[in-house]
Structure 1
Amino acid sequence: MRYHSLNHKAPSSSFRNAVIRGLAPDKGLYFPDDITALPQDFFRSIDQLSHDEIAYEAIKQFIEPEIREGELKRIVKETLSFDFPLITLDDNLSVLELYHGPTMAFKDVGARFMARCLGYFNKDNNEKITVLVATSGDTGGAVANGFLGVKGVDVIILYPSGKVSEIQEKQLTTLGQNITALEVDGVFDDCQDMVKRAFLDEDITNHMNLTSANSINVARWLPQMFYFLFAYKALYRKYEDIVFSVPSGNFGNICAGMIAQQLGMPVRPFIAATNKNRVITDFLKTKKYKPRPSIQTISN
C-alpha cells in the first residue's frame, strides 16, 4: 500500500516511511492511496471470527508486505490483549466500552499498534527514533504505556501543569526507562504548539529522527477501526440499521470508523458528537478553518 499527503504536495510514501515520519514533507497527513472493500461474506459471517482475525483481515491491505503476515498477526494479537464489551442500555441503544486497556483510554489500541509497528521497523536500526507527543491526559498515558521498553525508541511527552488528572500524571511520570514526561506551565494548546514548532525546526529535525504518536500518525488512528468492527459483530444479527455516534475532537477516531465503512461494513452514516471545542464541526459547515483556544469541559 502506498500513502499520499492530503496536501498533495509531497511524494507518495510507503507505510514504513509514513509511520516513521508522522507528517509528510508538505506537512500534510498521510492517507492510503486505495481502500479495497472486503468480501461481503466477511461481514455476513463476522460473528464466526475472533477479534484478532477481524482486525488482521481489516488492516492487512494497508500494511503488508512491509510487515510480514506472521509479524502483523503478532502485532494485532498484542495490541488487542484486553476486552471491548458492548453494554446494552435499552432496546435501541448500546455503548461500546473502550476503557479496558492498560491506561483506561480508547487510545490504547492505536498507541499499542503504532508502538509495535515502529519497534518492528526500527529493530535493526542503530539510530534512535524520538516520539514527541502533546497530551491533555489520555493520549500521553496510552503512548507511554504502549512504547514502554520499545528498543530504539525514546518518547517525550509534554503535558500542561495542573490540567491532567492525578492518575493520568502518574501514568506519564512514573514509568521511566525510555519515557520522559515534561510538565509545561501552560495549557494543552501550548504543548501542542511546542510540538508543532519542533517538527518545523530544522536545527532539531536535522539531528533527531522525530515522529509523532498523536492522531496525525496513520499507525495511531487507522487501527482504531478495529473496535467499530467488533461492535458491528455484536449487533448486526439483531439490528438492520446500525448508527455509530462517536465523541469527536479532532475526528481521528470517527475517521477510523469511516474507513471500516469503506471496507464494506454496512452501517448508516456516522454521528460526530462534539462539545464546545467545535473547530472541525464549524469547518465542515462553513469551509473556513478558524483555530481557537480549547475550552475546558467535563468531557476533556
Structure 2
Amino acid sequence: MELYSTNNPSLKVDFPTAVFNSMPQDKGLYMPQEIPVLDPEFIAQIGDRTFSEIALKVASALIGDAIPTPDLKAIIAETLSFDAPVKELDAETYVLELFHGPSLAFKDFGARFMSRVMGYFLRENEKMLDVLVATSGDTGGAVALGFLGVPNTRVTILYPEGKVSEIQELQLCTNGNNIQAISVNGTFDDCQALVKQAFADQDLADKLRLTSANSINIARLIPQTFYYFNAYAQLAREGKTKVVFAVPSGNFGNIAAGLIAYKMGLPVQQFIAATNANDTVPRFLENGIYETRASVQTYSNAMDVGAPSNWVRIMDLFKGDVAALKKVVSSSSYTDVETQEAIKEIYDTYSYVACPHTAIAYRALKNYLAEQPDHELTGVFLSTAHPCKFPDVFPNDVAAAIAIPEQVNELRARTSAAQKMDPVFADFKTYLQELN
C-alpha cells in the first residue's frame, strides 16, 4: 500500500510510515495512492459473509501486502470482538449501533485496529512510541483502552476542560499505566492545534517518536469502512439494497470512511453529514465558501469541531469536484433544542434511547427521506455512543430507561487524575520534552 499527502501527491510513503508518522511534514493528510474497487460479485453476495470475512476482504484490498493475510486476520479478530448490529425501528428507518465496544463508542473500531497494527509493526527495543490524541469526548476513551498496557507505547490525551461528560472524563483520566490525560483550558480545536503543532515541530521530531491516534491517522479510518459494508450486508439479507446513511459528523472521519467504502464499490444512494451548531460543512455545501470558525459547545460534544480535519480527505476523494461531491453528500445542522426534540421523538415513537449525536443523525435522516420521491429507500442513522455517557441531556422519563453498563459503575470507583494546561504550544512542547 502506497500513500500520498493531500498537499503534495508526489510525496509518497508506505503503510507503516503513514501509520507511525500520522501526518506528513507538509501538514497534509495521507491518502491511499489508489482506492481499490471491489469485485461486483463480492458486493452482490455480501449478505452471505460474516463481519470478519467482510473486514478481511476490505482491509486486504486497502492494505495490500503490507500485512500478510494470516496476521491481518488475527488483527481483525481482535478488533471485532463486539458486534455492530443494524436494528429496525420501522420499515424505512434503521439504526446502526456502534457503541458495543469497551469504551461504548464507535471509535473503538478505529482505536483497537490502530493499536494492534502499531503493535504489529513495532520492533523490540525500538524507541518509545508517543501517541498523541486530541478528543472532544469519545476518541480519547477509545484510544486509552485500545493502547492501555501496549508495550513500548505512551499515550497523551488532550481534552477541553469542562466540555466532556462525566463518564467521558472518567474514561480519559482513570487509566494510569501508560495513559496520561491533559485537561486543556480551551476548546477541542485548541487541543487539535496543539497536536498538529507537535507533529510539525522539528525539535520534537528529533527527540521523540510521535504518532497520532486521531482520525488524521489513516489506520483509524480503514476499520471504520468495515461497518458500512457490514451494515449493507445485514440489510441485503432483508432484500434492502437502496441505502442512505446519516452520519453524526464532527471531525468528519466517520463519514470519510463511509465515502472510501463508497469509492470501493459499496452502492450507497446518499450520505448525510449531520452536524450540530458547528456547521462549517453545511455552510460550505450551501454557499461554496469554506470558512472555519471557533467551535461552540453543544450537547453533542464529540461533534464540537469548527475546523474538521478530514474534510480535506473528502475533497480529495472527489478531486475537488464540489458538484460531484454534492451528488453523494448532503449536510444539515441542528441546534441543541432540535437535538432534544429528536431524542424525545425517538423515545416516544420507538421506545429507543439515542445519545445526542445519534439523535442529530436521526433528525437529518428523517428530514432527508421526507423530501425524497423514492419510497424504496432504506435509511440508516449511525448510533455512535451509548446514551449513558450523556445523562444530563435527557428528560427524566428517557433517562430512566437507560441501562447502565457495568463498566460505567467500575469507572466511578476509580481515582481520576489529569494535568491542567493552557492552550499554549510552548507549554505542551515542554511537557513532551520532559517525558523521557
Which TM-score band applies after superposition, normalised by the shorter structure?
Answer: over 0.9
CA shift at 1:62, angstroms? 2.1
Aligned to 1:299: 300
CA shift at 1:137, angstroms? 1.5
3-state SS in 1 of match to 2:207: coil
1:49 matched to 2:49: yes
CA shift at 1:37, angstroms? 1.4
Aligned to 2:229: 229
CA distance in 2, matches of 1:46, 1:240: 11
Aligned to 2:352: none
TM-score by length of 1: 0.95
58-67 or 216-225: bigger deviation: 58-67
3-state SS in 1 of match to 2:191: helix
CA shift at 1:64, angstroms? 3.2
CA distance in 1, matches of 2:11, 2:50: 37
**Distance change >3 Å, CA 169–CA 206, structure 1 → 2:** same
TM-score by length of 2: 0.66
CA shift at 1:240, angstroms? 3.8
3-state SS in 2 of match to 1:269: strand
Q: Give the 4+ runs in structure 1 shifted more than 3 A.
A: 283-289
Q: Does the 8 Å CA contact 2:163/2:297 hold for their aligned counterparts?
A: no
CA distance in 1, matches of 2:58, 2:125: 29
CA distance in 1, matches of 2:51, 2:123: 27
Between the aligned residues of both structures, percent identity stands at 52
1:66 matched to 2:75: no
CA distance in 2, matches of 1:169, 1:275: 21
Aligned to 2:339: none
Aligned to 1:274: 275
**Distance change >3 Å, CA 107–CA 151, structure 1 → 2:** same
Aligned to 1:181: 181
1:103-161 deviation digits (Å, cap 9, x = unpaired): 01111100111111111111335211111111121010000001111122111001122
**Distance change >3 Å, CA 9–CA 40, structure 1 → 2:** closer
Q: Does the 8 Å CA contact 1:10/1:25 hold for their aligned counterparts?
A: no
CA distance in 2, matches of 1:224, 1:212: 17
CA shift at 1:261, angstroms? 1.5
CA shift at 1:53, angstroms? 0.6
**Distance change >3 Å, CA 206–CA 9, structure 1 → 2:** farther
CA distance in 1, matches of 2:38, 2:191: 40
Aligned to 1:239: 240
Equivalent residue letter for 2:55 = A
**Distance change >3 Å, CA 133–CA 65, structure 1 → 2:** same
Equivalent residue letter for 2:7 = N
1:47-87 deviation digits (Å, cap 9, x = unpaired): 22111110010011222322111111111111110011211
CA distance in 2, matches of 1:169, 1:264: 39
CA shift at 1:250, angstroms? 2.2
CA distance in 1, matches of 2:222, 2:125: 25
3-state SS in 2 of match to 1:114: helix
CA distance in 2, matches of 1:282, 1:10: 31
Equivalent residue letter for 1:20 = F
Aligned to 1:31: 31
CA distance in 2, matches of 1:39, 1:9: 27
1:236-272 deviation digits (Å, cap 9, x = unpaired): 2422411111111222111111111122112212111
Q: CA RMSD in A?
A: 1.5
CA shift at 1:231, angstroms? 0.8
Aligned to 1:250: 251
3-state SS in 2 of match to 1:38: coil
CA distance in 1, matches of 2:224, 2:151: 24
1:261 matched to 2:267: no
50-59 or 118-127: bigger deviation: 118-127
| Higher RCO (CA < 8 A, seq sep 6+) | 2
Structure 2 unpaired stretches of 5+: 302-436
User: Of the two, which has the highest radius of gyration?
Assistant: 2
What are the equivalent positions in structure 2 for 1:1-300 lying under 5 Å apart?
1-8=1-8, 11-236=11-236, 237-300=238-301
CA distance in 2, matches of 1:265, 1:199: 34
Q: Does the 8 Å CA contact 2:232/2:241 hold for their aligned counterparts?
A: no
Report how many aligned residue pairs link the two structures: 300
